A = this chain, B = another copy of it.
């Protein structure tokens, strides 16, 4: 199986796994973002992943290419965070390779990434002065000589996906380890997802609903994991309140990619 195919399988397996509290999964759609949107994005990102695997190429422009290819449906951005993690991994092969890709990013990667970002409706943190819709931001990036790794470091305090670029893909590594520990297939994905949710406040939730809600979601997930609360009830509650742990879903996708490369079995 090619790296591109592992990336696609990871995206497909993550969205199909259920029950995943609050997120689109096999049993839940949101009214504007449905299972089919995630799977269409999975299919349509293939040429960008193929290019990343075969030609290497620059991570900034590859993310932009993937966003352009997958922005064709009405479901909004489905995999922007996943792309941020998967492209270094697919170019580099594994976590070690991805770290080298991160270390090798340049100003052009940063500018291309900003162009990709501008195509999405992804939320920036309130403190961001580098507004993707502000042409002055590109000038500022050039002037300061910021690489894409610098941009991620700048966002890292408020964004756990960006943080992966700064800490050597620590949660991606943890997710892969959790998958190995939980055995094979769909249930391992759900268990790993819940473990992450129970130990890390999701920054997508924090940006959307505030840090307090992210912390509370984490505590609820811990209760579910420890058998003190019902998973289905927690899921229903999250869905009703629009609390979707999108960043942990992105990290789970990256973790599945890494685990597949280490022989983890999705099919059992």
Taking Cβ atoms with an 8 Å cutoff, the residues of A that contact B are 1, 5, 8-9, 12-13, 16, 26-27, 35-37, 39-40, 42-44, 46, 72-75, 186, 266-268
Contacts and interface: CB of A to CB of B under 8 A. Distances in A.
A208 B5 CA distance: 33
Contact of A12 (B43, B75, B268): B43
B186 A43 contact: no
Contacts of A267: 36-37, 40, 73-75
A8 B36 CA distance: 12
For the residues of A in contact with B, the DSSP-based class is: helix
Nearest to A7: B43
Contact of A46 (B16, B35, B46, B72): B46
Total identical chains: 2
Contacts of A5: 43-44
Contacts of A27: 27
A131 to B, nearest CB: 29
Nearest to A186: B36
23 contacts: A1-B44, A1-B72, A5-B43, A5-B44, A8-B43, A9-B43, A12-B36, A12-B40, A13-B36, A16-B35, A16-B39, A26-B26, A26-B35, A27-B27, A36-B266, A36-B267, A37-B267, A39-B39, A40-B266, A40-B267, A43-B43, A46-B46, A73-B267
A82 B186 CA distance: 26
A64 to B, nearest CB: 19
A77 to B, nearest CB: 15
Contacts of A72: 1
Give the residue among A16, A36, A72 with the most B Cβ atoms within 10 A.
A36
A32 to B, nearest CB: 11
A9 B266 contact: no
A241 to B, nearest CB: 24
B12 A39 contact: yes
Given A8-B43, A16-B36, A43-B43, 18 more contacts: A1-B72, A5-B44, A9-B43, A12-B36, A12-B39, A12-B40, A13-B36, A16-B35, A27-B27, A36-B266, A39-B39, A40-B266, A40-B267, A42-B43, A43-B46, A46-B46, A74-B267, A74-B268
